[in-house]
A and B are shown apart, each in its own frame.
Chain A
Amino acid sequence: MRLEIGKIPIHDVQFDSTSRIEGNILYLNQEELKAHLMVDENIKSITVEIARPGDSTRIIPVKDVIEPRVKVSGRGELFPGTLSKVETVGEGRTNVLKGTAVVTTGKIVGFQEGIIDMSGPGAEYTPFSKLVNVVVVCEPIEGIDQYTHERTLRIAGLKAAAYLGNLAKDIVAEEVETYETYSVKEGIEKFPNLPRVAYVLMLQTQGLLHDTYVYGVDMKQSLTTIIYPTELMDGAIVSGNCVSACDKNTTYHHLNNPVVEDLFKKHGKELNFVGVVITNENVYLEDKERSSDWAAKLVDFLAVDGVIISQEGFGNPDTDLIMNCKKIEAKGIKTVIITDEYAGRDGASQSLADADASADAVVTAGNANMVIELPPMEKVIGHKEVADVIAGGFSGSLKADGSITAELQVIVGATNELGYNKLSAR
């Protein structure tokens, strides 16, 4: 399967009377975007704001971050099964608006989500402070249940991203990158001497605001399965989770999965990247056993020599991670796992809830319990009072002057376990 990614660099987003892309500027008619989203009867109000790198702006609580993309050629549309019709994606050409993203916020069911600071110390820990963000503040009507609320916001974000992405449908990108995965037979013939490598992508599937959707399927109801890496680039995987925001994969992360990208960089040169195995992190022990059995079975079936396993979240998913690692290593396949740590504020506690000697190659994305001071910002988009209740915040986190003392946990993507960042720990 072969996909071309056309990159269209966006340097700024400005409100204007017509939505369009000119040069590297995205002009946005916000009324048109609002009207596009307000079609959903569960939405009471929408406001749109722009947050730029370096702004004294805080976005809280963040539900999701989505990169605007559009299919130029090939089957399907972005976010199949969730936003568009179910059709296999990952082929042809997709245009991407690089440097910008849709960020969704709004009071979310009284649950707990993350922070994006566009400047200051917090900005260093989130990749989204480097993007020009179109922030969609979405408030639902009264009286809807939490699941509907979550879905309403999830879909609104995807719709907004698709709306922006569509503006680039007819643009001919100057920079085009090609990604190609070969069938098992082709791969062996083409690269007989390269080690075969698969990627086991663990998806958080633990309930409301902890779920992940694949072609519209709630992944907790799926068995472990195989997907082409380019399908991810067309939005086959959508994030429905944002709690303990530091190590949750936003939809932006899935579209730009760094393990996929870095494996492709060595693909055909130092290794043969054969594909992605997606598996879940369910709350029942039986499910954990079954899913990890399947992960091991599928990578064995793919006849790989090595596997990278990435986790999502922490706590009981540490057990899924260790099970996957142990069972795959037991098949004689070499593994590297990517995780993050909860070693306490002083860094002295046990970092993981589970461990095994076979996990002898670990990449860590840092200690999420580290305490950070976030100074007050001139502008807050969203609801700043949630700082006290979001995971990683604690009572008294939010000071009268608007500053926040909290654990790194509160920052969107700070300890991302796909390895998106440079943060680590020793």
Chain B
Amino acid sequence: MVKEIERAGIPVVHICTVVPISQTVGANRIVPAVAIPHPLGEPSQPAQKEKEIRRKLIDKALEALATEISEQTVFE
């Protein structure tokens, strides 16, 4: 999915847990997520802390979108 949206000229950041799959399918900007059932959450943490984790991931994603890249890049 990532590829076809990117092909339309819109930068995409892929937030996902299994990074190798994302690399195989050809995403260009990749942000590793927390876990498969809750990529942007951490249920074991209190609500405030969990939201902080989500903010960090979104920050990373926005940073990725604002970064010029020439090849597949994982933003850790």
Asked if A and B touch directly (CB within 8 angstroms), the answer is no
| B contact residues vs A (CB 8 Å cutoff) | none
